[in-house]
A = this chain, B = another copy of it.
Amino acid sequence: MSAPSLDAFIAYSVSTSTPTVLITSGGTSVPLESNTVRTLENFSTGTRGSSSAELFLKRGYRVIFMHRAGSKLPFLRLIPSPTNVTPELASLIKDCPNPSVKNPISTFTSHLPNLYLLPFTTITSFLTSLESTLKSLSPLSSLSMYYGAAAVSDFYLKNMPEHKIQSTVEGRRINKEDGGGGGKGFKLELDDVPKMLGEVKVWCPGVFLCGFKLETDETILTSKVERSIEKYGLDCVVGNVLSTRYEVCYLYDGGGVEEVRGDVEGGIVEGVVRRHMEYVSREGGGVRLRKEGGGKKERDERIWREMEGWKKGIFWAWESLGPVIGVALVYYIRRRKW
């Protein structure tokens, strides 16, 4: 289970023109002190991210799986136990006679050539990995996809105290009832995490951008999704409600909404892949230079100016070959029996 470098992994996708998806999965952690004792967590087991990864792999995609360290991994999550088995443990127990352990590990191992595992813990390591990975993916242009299933923190502490927050230090307490035995409670002021969705297509022009929206209140889901699509230029959004997220999901693509019930995980990936292949066919594999309008124009021109000579060559090749490849892929994917 030795891993190649991420660059080598992506170079192989480029040389074989294989659709490659960057999946983010699991929750990020926000440390509240430099010497960390306390963290603010966004809860996610990684079920949706890891099961989606399995389905993308089965559909012939190559997968970069950016996951919260210790959260669920594709195939290994199928071992019937609350424990999330890591690749290290999998290699220790791969000869275990129990088929419910042996089989998932063997499936996992067989998919490793097309699966790149990239763990993170804190929001900072998440954002750093995301930017560098998307930049590395940019040569794949429209054949690349960002599938943001992770639960990313909205808030963090820009100026962290060095030491553990004291429950009794003055200035860190609020007085709820003025008189008497001193203050009670604790006031935490958090800053907004820089919104990275708007940067995705700057870091990786041409990427197909699939976002996720999880709400607990169903009534505000659609309006929040629509605002996101408008604000960040998302190509597709998977909307879901915490309590019903394994029974029903909604696929938004700016044009309309598709309700997915029954095999929700399968339905999401099928719907997203169909939209991605239509996008590849439409975009022709190149960065979207021709279709600019409004603020996009300046950005595209800057990208074009900064593009090196050989990349311009690849771009023109994509622009010409892209539609042909796209149509062939759509045909292939629609014909294939899953």
- Contacting pair B33 A216 (CB below 8 A): yes
Check A191 against B187 for contact (C-beta < 8 Å). Answer: no
Are A37 and B89 touching (Cβ within 8 A)? no
Number of interface residues of A (CB under 8 A): 54
Residues of B close to A191: CB separation below 8 A: 184-186
Interface: A41 (CB within 8 A): yes
Are B96 and A89 in contact (CB-based, < 8 A)?
Answer: no
Question: With A154-B186, A163-B217, A188-B188 known to touch, is A70 a contact of B89 (CB < 8 Å)?
Answer: no
Known: A92-B98, A188-B187, A192-B167. A40 touches B38 (CB 8 A): yes
Contact A162:B216 (CB < 8 A) given known A70-B82, A187-B187: yes
User: For the complex, is A312 an interface residue (Cβ under 8 Å from B)?
Assistant: no
Q: In the complex, A298 Cα to B252 Cα: how many Å?
A: 67
Q: Across the interface, do A92 and B81 meet the contact criterion of CB distance under 8 Å?
A: yes
Contact of A242 among B37, B40, B190 (CB under 8 A): B37
Tell me if A185 and B155 are in contact (CB < 8 A).
yes
The 8 nearest A-B residue pairs measured at CB: A35-B216, A81-B89, A83-B89, A96-B96, A188-B188, A163-B216, A154-B167, A81-B88
List residues of chain B with CB within 8 A of the CB of A69.
82
Across-interface contacts of A89 in B (CB, < 8 A)? 79, 81-83, 85
Write out the residue numbers on chain B whose beta carbons fall within 8 Å of the beta carbon of A97: 95-96
- Using a CB–CB cutoff of 8 Å, the interface residues on chain A facing chain B are 29, 33, 35-43, 69-70, 79-86, 88-89, 92-93, 95-98, 100-101, 151, 154-155, 162-164, 167, 174, 184-192, 214-217, 242-243
Most buried by B among A80, A167, A174: A167
Instruction: List B contacts of A93 (CB < 8 A).
Output: 93, 96, 98, 101
Question: Assuming A82-B70, A154-B186, is B37 touching A216 (CB within 8 A)?
Answer: yes
Q: Kindly state the separation between the CA atoms of A33 and B154 in the bound complex, as whole angstroms.
A: 15
* Contact (Cβ within 8 A) A83 B82: no
What is the bound-complex CA distance between A198 and B75, given in angstroms? 47
- Bound complex: CA A295 to CA B163 (Å): 34
**Interface residue from B36, B92, B186, B217 paired with A101 (Cβ < 8 Å):** B92
Per the bound structure, the CA–CA distance linking A101 and B187 in Å amounts to 46
A163: B residues at CB distance < 8 A: 215-217
B33-A38 in contact (CB<8A):
no
Question: Given that A82-B86, A92-B79, A190-B186 are contacting pairs, would A151 and B37 also be in contact in the complex, using a CB cutoff of 8 Å?
Answer: yes
